[in-house]
Structure 1
Amino acid sequence: MKRVTGIGGVFFRANDPQALGDWYKTHLGIDVQSWGGTVFRWADENGTPSAGTTTWSVSDGRYFAPSQSGFMINYRVADLHALLQQLRAEGCQVMDQTEESEYGKFGWVMDPEGNKVELWEPPEGQ
């Protein structure tokens, strides 16, 4: 079974999300939007756009709960529900909640160090 196929997002916890977002925008040129992040569009080796994105954002981190980590990684997966079932069978701490929206399917697992890991099955064609 195919598991992780790429990185869908990187999320940082910040004491002052606005100030940290402004720092990244000013010093690293990341186009931080009003929601606290940006979406990097994928391109092939020739610079031609391809289907796929990676989200980057800074927030207060409440979304990371129950993790106390300063970050959360979102991994793209091929089949979310099959992977969550497999992770449960392997004894992993899979969170009960899943979400489905126009943005895709989302589920979460805690790694052995207490970091919340987000798993994302993008919508068809992405």
Structure 2
Amino acid sequence: MGVTGIGGFLFRARDPEALRRWYIEYLGVGSAPHGAWETHAGPSVFAPLANDSDDFARERPWILNLRVDDLDGLCRGLGAAGIEVTTDPAWGAPDVGRFARLEDPEGNPIELWEPDPSA
């Protein structure tokens, strides 16, 4: 008996309905009732980081990491929609994958992760 996966990610928003629509439109997240969506089996990371970590902006207590299957295609689509996406080859690693970062309309950090298919 124990935890079998992440059951959800709930957070406060200035305009919850507008933010929900943004996540549905641009990332395909949470379109079912109550914000649910079916995820594909795969790894999830649970990693508390030191307060002085440089992994993401220090003024933010968390970053939402979403596993994707076509990082380049998603980044192109987001860019075409006027959403700024940052990539850095140094963020990736063999046997881990590649990453990109963006912010939602309320400034919440999001990391897109395409796992290394050979891992």
TM range (shorter): 0.5 to 0.7
1:85 is matched with which residue?
A: 76
The whole-number CA distance in structure 2 between the counterparts of 1:101 and 1:63 is 14
**What is the CA distance between 1:89 and its match in structure 2?**
0.6
1:100 aligns to 2:92 (yes or no): yes
Correspondence for 2:64 among 73, 96, 116: 73
**What is the CA distance between 1:125 and its match in structure 2?**
5.6
Aligned residues: 77
1:52 aligns to 2:47 (yes or no): no
Root-mean-square deviation (Å)? 2.5
The whole-number CA distance in structure 2 between the counterparts of 1:115 and 1:92 is 13
The whole-number CA distance in structure 1 between the counterparts of 2:73 and 2:113 is 12
TM-score calculated relative to the size of structure 2: 0.55
3-state SS of paired residue (1:81): helix
Change (3 A) 1:113 1:86: same
| Aligned partners of 1:68 and 1:114 also within 8 Å | no
The whole-number CA distance in structure 2 between the counterparts of 1:112 and 1:68 is 17
1:63 is matched with which residue?
A: 55
TM-score calculated relative to the size of structure 1: 0.52
Moved over 2 A (4+): 96-100
Give unpaired runs (5+ residues) of structure 1: 1-6, 11-50
Identical columns (%): 35
The whole-number CA distance in structure 1 between the counterparts of 2:100 and 2:92 is 9
Relative contact order higher in (CA < 8 Å, ≥ 6 apart): 1
3-state SS of paired residue (1:53): coil
Q: Pick the structure with greater CA Rg.
A: 1
The whole-number CA distance in structure 1 between the counterparts of 2:117 and 2:99 is 14
**What is the CA distance between 1:62 and its match in structure 2?**
2.8
